[in-house]
């Protein structure tokens, strides 16, 4: 079993829709949870991070963590064509430095 | 520039050749990471540098892979005797420090080198 599982998609939605992207993980030691956005032929960029369980909101984006279920989500409200990208969840593994385990990424397409 | 710079952006080479991939991190970033991203797969950790030292080389797939960093700046990833399975995007990232808490020290990625082995 992979440490981090993520549905690869692709996920296609109409502009304005609410998007839900999800990951499950197996390592209960994970404490920080990150979402990266990767546009085609570009490097990933950190979108949001959260610590432990709960919600965090940033504009149209909300990150949600449920540690009891080992399940994290990223919600995008009022989705825009510019949100079309691959979204990767990621978790740093403790070990003295920021060693990050990434999900495979979900490709999102927002149709105008 | 202000971001992480990688060169070349694309590299096509024949099986068995050696390749060198270069990463210029953000100035002042002490931590540097190399990842491999195969088509349809997540990022695979290769190696981590703190300064010029590499405390963790555990992700290097074989002894054909090596990396070095000099001047606490530029890093080079070398793949010897390339194989077709080495075809991937090789990404470099740097961060101000290497604390596990990512909030103030996120990893900034370059756009990668797309390596194709014929």
Residue B81: name the closest of B60, B63, B59, B64 by CA: B64
Q: How far is A2 from chain B (nearest CA, A)?
A: 11
CA dist., res. A58 & res. B63, Å (int): 43
For chain A, strand residue ranges (E) read 4-6, 11-14, 19-25, 32-38, 45-51, 54-58, 61-66, 71-76, 85-93, 99-102, 106-111
Please tell me the predicted confidence (pLDDT) of residue A96: 58
Q: Are strands A54-58 and A61-66 parallel, antiparallel or unpaired?
A: antiparallel
Cβ–Cβ < 8 Å for B73, B26: no
| A97-112 residue pLDDT tens | 677 889 999 999 999 9
The verdict on A100 touching B (C-beta cutoff 8 Å) is: yes
Please tell me the predicted confidence (pLDDT) of residue A75: 97
With beta carbons under 8 A apart, name residues in chain B contacting A101.
Answer: 45
The verdict on A110 touching B (C-beta cutoff 8 Å) is: no
Query: pLDDT digit of tens for each residue in chain B (118 aa)?
Result: 589 999 999 999 999 999 999 999 999 999 999 999 998 788 999 999 989 998 888 899 999 999 999 988 999 999 999 999 999 999 999 988 766 555 667 889 999 999 999 9
Q: How far is B82 from chain A (nearest CA, A)?
A: 23
With beta carbons under 8 A apart, name residues in chain A contacting B100.
Answer: 32, 92, 94-98
Q: Which of A88, A98, A106, A107 would best serve as a mutation to test chain B binding (most B beta carbons within 10 A)?
A: A98
CA dist., res. A12 & res. B100, Å (int): 34
With beta carbons under 8 A apart, name residues in chain B contacting A102.
Answer: 35, 42-43
Residue B27 DSSP symbol: T
Tokens in use for B59? Answer: 């992700």
């Amino acid at each position: 079993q992979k440490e981090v599982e993520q549905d690869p998609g692709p996920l296609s939605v109409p502009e304005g829709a609410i998007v839900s992207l999800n990951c499950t993980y197996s390592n209960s030691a994970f404490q920080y949870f990150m979402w990266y956005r990767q546009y085609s032929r570009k490097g990933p960029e950190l979108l949001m991070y959260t610590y432990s369980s709960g919600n965090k909101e940033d504009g149209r984006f909300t990150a949600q963590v449920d540690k009891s279920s080992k399940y994290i989500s990223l919600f995008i409200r009022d989705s825009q064509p510019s949100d079309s990208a691959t979204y990767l969840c990621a978790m740093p593994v403790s070990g003295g430095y920021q060693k990050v385990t990434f999900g495979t990424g979900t490709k999102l397409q927002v149709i105008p | 520039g202000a971001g992480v710079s990688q060169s070349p952006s694309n590299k096509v080479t024949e099986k068995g050749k050696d390749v060198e991939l270069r990463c210029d991190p953000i100035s002042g970033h002490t931590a540097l990471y190399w990842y491999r991203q195969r088509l349809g797969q997540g990022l695979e950790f290769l190696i981590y540098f703190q300064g010029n030292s590499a405390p963790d080389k555990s992700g290097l797939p074989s002894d054909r892979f090596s990396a070095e960093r000099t001047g606490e700046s530029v890093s080079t990833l070398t793949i010897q005797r390339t194989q077709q399975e080495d075809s991937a995007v090789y990404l470099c990232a740097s961060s101000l420090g290497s604390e596990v808490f990512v909030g103030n020290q996120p990893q900034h990625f370059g756009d990668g080198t797309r390596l194709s082995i014929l």
